[in-house]
Each structure stands twice: as C-alpha cells, then as structure tokens.
Structure 1
Amino acid sequence: MKVAASTVWEILQQAGIDPAPQPTSTTWATFLRSQAQAIIAADFFETSTLAGARLYVLAVTEHATRRVRILGATAHPTAGWVAQAARNLVMDLEDAGRAVKYLIRDRDGKYPTLFDAILADADNTVVRSGVRTPRMNSIMERWIHACRHELPDRTLIWNQTHLLHALREYERHHNQHRPHRGIANSRPLRPLPEPITDPAALARLNVHRHDRLGGVLHEYENAA
C-alpha cells in the first residue's frame, strides 16, 4: 500500500510530531574554506641518503598563505624530538603573530600524546584526518609531492646536515619566489611585483636567473 507524503504529514501533525530538522552538518571542504586563516597542516615524509640511512622530515604549511615551515629532519623521530618540534612551532607562530586554531595531521604513530598536549596548551585544536584519507590533508600532501619531485628525487643527499641545508633552500624558494595558484599566483612571504603595462618596457625585458642548490632550482625575475 502506497501512502502519499501529504497523508504522512497529516498523521504526524495530528499526533503532534514535528518534522525532522534539516541536517546542519558542515562538510570538510566548507570547514577548510571558512577556517583557512586559522588552519595549519603537518606531516612527515621520508628520504634516504647515499649510504642508505633513512631520514624523516617534519614540515607544516599554512592553509591561507601556503607558507611552509621545515621543523627538522632526523633519523630517529622519538617522542622527545617530535615534542620539541611542536614547542618550536608554537614559539615560531607566536613570534610571527599567527593566530592558529587548528592543526591537521594524520594518525601516524610518530606523533606522541605530548605533541597534541603542547598545541592544546597554546589553544590549538589538533584535527586528525581519517584512516587512509590523504585528501583530508591535501594541501600538505601536495607540497610533499612537489618537494619529493624537485629535491630528494633530483639530489644526492650525503647526510642529515646536507639534507637540512637543501630543505632550507627549498623552503626559501617556496616561500619567497614560487607563485601558488591557490592564492591567486601570489607568494607566501613576498608580494607580487607591479605589472608591466608599457608596451615598450615589455619589449625590453631584462630577465635574470638565480640558481639555488647548484642549479637544482631556478628563479627568474625581471631586473629593474
């Protein structure tokens, strides 16, 4: 027997039962867009030296500005090392005047309980992504993919000191030079140059190239 929706509504109304409220849950994409100014994301990635030693790199990125911070690299990501990285991150954010409310991370066992506690003391809520759901931390995952492709996959890493030097150069390149489509082709730490509108100036561009890491990274700018 089929019952019309209007019949069900009349029965519920006579029984004094109100209609079910509309769902008000916020989607993950909506949360990321609305809270971008207050979100940072963290993740580990691995690389190897020429001698075969495995090193672990911890980095964070700001969702709104795409600024990246390399927190360190180590062969032994112990609870104490990761906790100290969290303390350094909190101090760095305070010095930069960044008001952060959320930190997104995965469920990697390298994060100790103290890591979340240190961030909680600084009024930062740790949001863990779902199991095997890297798209929940897509901005961080995308940066790791780019870093792997442009640095460890194209560079012979001698040791931990060499890796940290290369990562610092890549961090400066990413934050000060590279334009990002997610922020209208701007750069995290440097404003975009003024556009050139004079046709004569466009015909006489004086572009200089600056190499980082012996030519692994190239930067191009118009000389004044």
Structure 2
Amino acid sequence: MFQVFEQFFEARYRRRYNARLQLMAYQIEMLRSRIGTDRIYTRPEERAELIRIGAELDHDVDDVLLVVKQGTYRGWLRSQEGPKPKKPGRLGTPQTTINLVMRIAVENLTWGYERIQGELKKLGISIGATTISDILKREGHPPIPGKGSSRPPGQWKQFINSHMDTLVASDFFTKPVLTWRGWVDAYVLVFIHLGSRRVFMSPATFNPTEDWALQQSRNAAMRFEDMGIKIRYLIHDRDSKYSQRFRAFWNSEQVKCLRTPVRSPKANGYCECFIGKIKRECLNHFVCVSLDQLDYINREWLAYYNEHRPHQGTDIGNKVLRPDFSPTSEGDIKREQRLGGVISWYHREAA
C-alpha cells in the first residue's frame, strides 16, 4: 500500500517537474527568436502555449515565468474566461420611444427638444429634454438653434413674478398682405394673461385707429372675464396707438396701465415671445392676399395655441393650457394637422 502512494506522488512530482522544464525551455526559444529587440511581444499562439504548459502547474508559475510579468499572464487567463457581466444599471430608453422621438422630429423640423418633450408628455411618455437631445444627435438629426431669453431683468422681473395671476401684457404685430396697391402691413393687437398664458388676438386691420383699438380692448376685457381672469395690471409699450382713451377704458375697469421703458422689449418679454412664436411657427410660412385669410390663419393658430400646444415656461411646466386636458398612455398615437401641415400636434386615439 505504501508503495502505491509513493509511486503516485513520484509520478505527480515528475509531471510538474517536466512541465517546469518545458515552460522554461519554451521561453528560451522565444528569447532566442528575439535577439536584438528591446521588448518581447508575444504572439497569440505563444500565449496559448504558455497557458497550456502553465495549466500543468495549476498556473503556479510565479518563480519560472520570466518572459512576461505575472499580471500579464493573469490577464491572459481572465481573457479566456470571457468578460464579466455588467452590473445592473439604469434602463435605456425603449426603442419605441426613440422611434417616436425621431418621427416627431422629422415631421416637425422646427421643433426644439423641449417642444418635443411637451408633446410626448401629452401622450403619457415621460422623457428628459437631455435624453431627447442625445437621441437626435445620435441619429444625426440637426439640432435646433437656441432662442435668446426674453425674460425681464431685475426688479421688473420680481414685480411680474409677484403679479402673474392679475397681469396682462399687450402689443401689436404686423403681417404684410398683398393688395392691389402692393404690399400693405396689416396690424393685429394681442393680449396675453401671464399667469395662464391664455391669449386674445384681435382681427387684422390696415388702419389701427383709436376707436378700433378701444373696441378690441373691450372685446379682450369681456373675453378674460368669461375665462374667470381678474386683471389688475396691463403692460404695454409707448406706441402712439395706445391712446389716452385706451388707458382711460382700462382705468375704468380698475386696471392700472404700465408703460415699458423706451427701447426695452424684454420688459414686455412674454408678449414678444408669443409674437415670435406665431411668426416663426406659422405666419412666416404664408403669403397673405387678404385680411380674411390672415384672420383665418390667426384663428387656427390661436385655437391650437390655447387648446393643444404644450407650453415650456418653467411656471407652466410643459403642459397644455386647456384646463380639462390630462395625459394618457392608452390608444394609438395620431397626428393632427392644420393649415396644410404648418400646425401639427399628437394625441391618443380613444379605444
């Protein structure tokens, strides 16, 4: 019995001894083939042979492996075992959401990241503007240029923030209309309630007289009263069309008129921002040939703005202005269009 154990340990020792000799001999061959070089670079077949021989020693080769460092040899072994599984982390954006982001971006080339984010929020899909930006950049979609801030500075900003719910801003904008006399500017008067962003927009006119502006003021006051909005302050610039009678009417309604400083468009930034939106996103795409056409375009835009468009203001929270609207994640996604596709929005089709 003792002889059997002796033979077993002798065979095992001899096998390891031979493996050590083979390992050292193979390294000598490697070194001989590289005489005259500063550094030894192992080839894949050489690494495989070193690992094969090292396996005979249970990879206990620290005292006989001279051609490479021990860490390198351990790295070869780890590479054979394959990559370690990654730790669980944040889930990626679902492919269906990525496809929807790209669909909206391609169908509406002038929409920015936050505009797309608001439309997705309506559809019950929560996604960050930065994620949308990353998706569009990854897919090679051109970025939308940023827009400058229109927020009022300093104490004026503090005043506006403190009176948002009772504050209305007003301004005129023009749109050229082609007539038999050539191009003539049509004037539109806008009133916007800062707290809710609800807007009243007058019909267009070529001759914005004092009487016309006064009548539009009456219409706006009745419209805001119907919406349950109590006005205390009205912001407007120093345009001569804001006459004494215009201010007297609002004073009779217990509304204080505040004129902005000279050459300070940011002091009336909310109204300026609205006018910029309607021009960029709508009116600049049309050549108007009559006041009726311009009024129709403005009515379609205003209905879209007040009922369907998400608003990106920090105090609004990228939401739709319509009080009865609530996001839903059920139903197929459909695209609605108006004015030949210039205006578009998305909604869930009821089952």
TM-score calculated relative to the size of structure 2 = 0.53
Name whichever structure is richer in helix by fraction: 2
Q: Which residue matches 1:115?
A: 246
SS at match of 1:100: coil
Instruction: State how far apart, in whole Å, the 1-side matches of 2:323 and 2:303 are.
Output: 11
Kindly report which structure 2 residues correspond to 1:40-59, keeping only aligned pairs within 5 A, or say none.
40-51=168-179, 52-59=183-190
SS at match of 1:126: strand
Q: Which residue matches 1:7?
A: none
> Which of 317, 327, 337 is matched with 1:211 structurally?
337
Q: Which moved more, 1:63-72 or 1:136-145?
A: 63-72
Change (3 A) 1:194 1:153: closer
SS at match of 2:178: coil
Report if the CA contact (8 A) 2:190-2:199 is conserved.
yes
Superimposed CA distance per residue, residues 61-117 of structure 1 (whole angstroms, 9 cap, x where no aligned partner)? 110111111122110000110011111112222222211101111011111111111
Report if the CA contact (8 A) 1:186-1:192 is conserved.
no
SS at match of 1:50: strand
Question: Does residue 1:187 correspond to 2:320, yes or no?
Answer: yes
Q: CA shift at 1:214, angstroms?
A: 2.0
Instruction: State how far apart, in whole Å, the 2-side matches of 1:127 and 1:114 are.
Output: 15
Amino acid of the structure 1 residue aligned with 2:349: A
Amino acid of the structure 2 residue aligned with 1:221: H
Q: Which residue matches 2:213?
A: 82
Instruction: State how far apart, in whole Å, the 2-side matches of 1:207 and 1:194 are.
Output: 12
Instruction: State how far apart, in whole Å, the 1-side matches of 2:244 and 2:338 are.
Output: 38
Report if the CA contact (8 A) 2:308-2:320 is conserved.
yes
Instruction: State how far apart, in whole Å, the 2-side matches of 1:169 and 1:144 are.
Output: 15
Instruction: State how far apart, in whole Å, the 2-side matches of 1:53 and 1:190 are.
Output: 38
> Which of 277, 287, 298 is matched with 1:146 structurally?
277
TM-score calculated relative to the size of structure 1 = 0.81
Kindly report which structure 2 residues correspond to 1:132-171, keeping only aligned pairs within 5 A, or say none.
132-171=263-302
Question: Does residue 1:39 correspond to 2:167, yes or no?
Answer: yes
Instruction: State how far apart, in whole Å, the 2-side matches of 1:148 and 1:162 are.
Output: 15
Q: Which residue matches 1:9?
A: none
Instruction: State how far apart, in whole Å, the 1-side matches of 2:203 and 2:233 are.
Output: 21
Report if the CA contact (8 A) 2:168-2:234 is conserved.
yes
Instruction: State how far apart, in whole Å, the 1-side matches of 2:224 and 2:344 are.
Output: 29
Instruction: State how far apart, in whole Å, the 1-side matches of 2:321 and 2:338 are.
Output: 18
> Which of 99, 103, 108 is matched with 2:234 structurally?
103
Report if the CA contact (8 A) 2:165-2:194 is conserved.
yes
Q: CA shift at 1:158, angstroms?
A: 1.6
Report if the CA contact (8 A) 2:328-2:348 is conserved.
no
Instruction: State how far apart, in whole Å, the 1-side matches of 2:255 and 2:322 are.
Output: 23
Amino acid of the structure 1 residue aligned with 2:319: S
Instruction: State how far apart, in whole Å, the 2-side matches of 1:194 and 1:148 are.
Output: 28
User: Aligned residue pairs: how many?
Assistant: 192
Amino acid of the structure 1 residue aligned with 2:211: G
Report if the CA contact (8 A) 1:157-1:163 is conserved.
yes
